Amino acid sequence: MKTILILLFVTSTAFSQWPGYFYTFVLKDSDGNAIDSTNKDFKMETIKGEKSTEMMLSIERCDDNSAWRFYEGGYHGLDQTHKLKITNSKTGEEMTIKFPPSMSGGKEKYYRDLYAGVIKFKKGTYKIKLPETDNEWDGLKQIKICPLSYMTNRYYDISGFQDQK
């Protein structure tokens, strides 16, 4: 019995997962060109929500360099809106993208990994929009984008809810 308890403890800690979720998006400059990791004119800074303490934020390119992924993780603060500040060092213009908590509606309520579509760099603040009804959440399609070597890369597509042109 002691061996079983030890095995259960070791197994559960070895495979525990840090809670969090991803927002993935394609970023383009004002001329419509993709902003990728080779473009040094744009600097990015993650900003925690006001009451977030034990929160980890990151912004990285996807392994295939197709899009950006904004990660929000931790045991406290997942319910906060976090931000990404993007600065064009050539022009000095800044854009802030607000990422609301991805807690979904619908039949199952959980933090989802979301694909926000193409976001065009534009001076000012842009808030990612989420589905408003349970039916809209339940109707979201899953897409494969932003492969990671250590996890599946399925995101719920919320690009149709964004109104940026």
| pLDDT value, residue 102 | 93
In whole angstroms, give the CA distance from residue 160 to residue 24. Answer: 14
C-alpha dist (Å) from residue 62 to 12, 17, 37, 148: 29, 20, 10, 7
Q: What is the sign, positive or negative, of the torsion defined by CA atoms of 138, 83, 146, 121?
A: positive
| pLDDT value, residue 9 | 38
| pLDDT value, residue 77 | 82
| pLDDT value, residue 157 | 97
In whole angstroms, give the CA distance from residue 116 to residue 118. Answer: 7
How far does CA 2 lie from the centroid of its chain?
42
Single-letter residue type at 9: F
Q: Write out pLDDT tens, residues 111-158.
A: 999 999 999 999 999 999 999 999 999 999 999 998 777 777 789 999
How far does CA 7 lie from the centroid of its chain?
35
In whole angstroms, give the CA distance from residue 110 to residue 30. Answer: 34
| pLDDT value, residue 53 | 67
How far does CA 72 lie from the centroid of its chain?
7
| pLDDT value, residue 74 | 83
State the pTM of this model.
0.84
Q: Which residues of the chain have pLDDT under 70?
A: 1-18, 52-53, 164-165
| pLDDT value, residue 4 | 42
| pLDDT value, residue 66 | 80
Residue 41 — left, alpha, or beta (φ > 0 → left; ψ -120 to 50 → alpha)?
alpha
Question: How many CB atoms are closer than 10 A to CB 78?
Answer: 19
Question: How many CB atoms are closer than 10 A to CB 131?
Answer: 19
